[in-house]
C-alpha cells in the first residue's frame, strides 16, 4: 500500500496542473555557479551531499541558494540545454534562485517547512499541486 504525506509551501513561480517527479534532496545551500555542471545537470561540488547526482528532470529540493548572481544565468542555461529540474523546492527564498526560475520558466515553491528533509529522500516520488495562486501542496508518495 502506498502512503503519502503532505506539506505546503509558497508558490514563487506558478504553473498549471500537477507536477510529478522523482525527488533529489540536499539539505545544503546550492550555488548554481560552480556546484552544478551546466552541460549535464550533475552536481559537481566535492563537498555536496548529492555530488555526482543529476538534477535534470527531477523535483529538486534544497535549502536555498548561495553565491554568485550569475547563478540565475546558470539556471537559465540548464533549461536551454534540457538539463533543468522539473521544479525547484526550497526552504529559504533566495533572489538569485527566484530570478533563475522565472527566466527559465521553472516552477518554484519556497518557504517549505524544514521537516521536508526528514520526510523526503532522494528517489521518492513527489507531486506539486497548486492549491491557489499563492500556496501549493507537496505530496510525498512512498511505497
Q: Distance (Å, rounded) from C-alpha 105 to C-alpha 125? A: 22
The cell numbers describing 85, all together, are 529540474
Alpha-carbon span 15 to 87, nearest angstrom: 10
Which residue of the set 27, 48, 54, 68 is catalytic?
68
Per the DSSP assignment, residues forming a β-bridge with 10 are 110, 135
48: annotated active-site residue: no
Provide the annotated active-site residues.
68
Amino acid at each position: 500500500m502506498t502512503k503519502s504525506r503532505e506539506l505546503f509551501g509558497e508558490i514563487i513561480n506558478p504553473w498549471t496542473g500537477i507536477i510529478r517527479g522523482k525527488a533529489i534532496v540536499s539539505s545544503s545551500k546550492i550555488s548554481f555557479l560552480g556546484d552544478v555542471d551546466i552541460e549535464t545537470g550533475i552536481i559537481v561540488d566535492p563537498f555536496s551531499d548529492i555530488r555526482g547526482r543529476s538534477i535534470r528532470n527531477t523535483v529538486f529540493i534544497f535549502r536555498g541558494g548561495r553565491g554568485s548572481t550569475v547563478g540565475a544565468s546558470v539556471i537559465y542555461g540548464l533549461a536551454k540545454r534540457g538539463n533543468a529540474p522539473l521544479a525547484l523546492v526550497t526552504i529559504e527564498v533566495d533572489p538569485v534562485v527566484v530570478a533563475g526560475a522565472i527566466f527559465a520558466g521553472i516552477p518554484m515553491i519556497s518557504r517549505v517547512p524544514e521537516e521536508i528533509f526528514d520526510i523526503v529522500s532522494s528517489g521518492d516520488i513527489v507531486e506539486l499541486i497548486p492549491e491557489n495562486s499563492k500556496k501549493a501542496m507537496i505530496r510525498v508518495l512512498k511505497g
